Structure 1
Amino acid sequence: MERNRRDREGGVLAAAAELFDLPADIVAGLPRLEMVGSRQLYLEHHTGLLAYTEEQIDANTPAGVLRVRGERLTLLAMTAGELRIGGRISSVEWVGPC
């Protein structure tokens, strides 16, 4: 009975997150976004850039493509799993499956 309930509510990853008191999004590898006003965006768990101009940056993630639009957009920092975008951010949207 307990197993059936766990399977319906998110499976093994959700159970592990609950057991070890970890946030489920970190355990599942879901992207995490943090914005500082409209001037910076921090993204964890990206899998690469698909497009990069001063007006638009498309970042691939396990949950779909994150599209950032604005003016004078720049990559302030980029590692294998983290990305920091600066500039005047006007919109952030998910494109594709989420």
Structure 2
Amino acid sequence: MLRRRGNLQSLAGFLEIPQDIVLDMPRITMLGNKQLLVENHRGIIEYTPSLVRIKLNQGELCILGEDLMLGNLQAEQILVEGVVQEVKYDL
């Protein structure tokens, strides 16, 4: 499995393709502490105004904060808005 992953990384580098596409990894983009965009997710595990847990291909992403709301919710991406205080990637 690790060898295949290494081969895919090499191929992505050679073809200049972003690794998140080839390796099915999430892309996480933050705008200050006000917005967090998660692309390539597997769904929402838990959602409260202080915690959002998002399932990823490997593990989950925990977002802690205040007044958290789900903005642009699509099959491929989730936008979390509010005051983001902590982001944890748990495997």
- TM-score, structure 2 as length reference: 0.88
Match of 1:37 in 2: 32
> Does the Cα contact within 8 Å between 2:36 and 2:79 map onto a contact in 1?
yes
Larger Rg computed on CA atoms? 1
| Fraction of identical pairs, as percent | 31
Shift of 1:32: 0.7
28 and 9 in structure 1: CA distance in 2 versus 1, 3 angstrom threshold: closer
Match of 1:83 in 2: 78
Give ranges in structure 1 of 5+ residues lacking alignment: 1-6
- TM-score, structure 1 as length reference: 0.82
> Does the Cα contact within 8 Å between 2:5 and 2:23 map onto a contact in 1?
no
More moved, 51-60 vs 21-30: 21-30
Match of 1:28 among 20, 23, 26: 23
What amino acid is aligned across from residue 60 of structure 2 in structure 1?
V
Aligned CA-pair RMSD = 1.6
Match of 2:13 among 18, 32, 41: 18
Kindly report structure 1 stretches of 4+ aligned residues shifted beyond 2 Å: none
Match of 2:60 in 1: 65
Match of 2:48 among 29, 42, 53: 53
Give ranges in structure 2 of 5+ residues lacking alignment: none
